[in-house]
Amino acid sequence: MRQLLMTMLLIVTVVLLYTSITQGDEGTREQIKASGGRMADHISRISP
């Protein structure tokens, strides 16, 4: 029973860390959006 509880707490901790890292104000998702926007601007300025 104790081992099951420890496993569940570890899983919950990992999930909470993952969501806070990826979806925070400076999270991975926002960094990817900003990087994509900069790349799109740069590509649109390239003249053929």
- What's the predicted TM-score (pTM) here? 0.57
User: pLDDT at position 4, please?
Assistant: 94
Residue 27 DSSP label: S
Write the pLDDT tens digit of every residue in 1-42.
999 999 999 999 999 998 888 887 778 888 888 899 999 898
State the Cα–Cα distance between residues 3 and 29, nearest whole angstrom: 34
User: pLDDT at position 47, please?
Assistant: 73
User: pLDDT at position 22, please?
Assistant: 83
User: pLDDT at position 13, please?
Assistant: 96
State the Cα–Cα distance between residues 10 and 12, nearest whole angstrom: 5
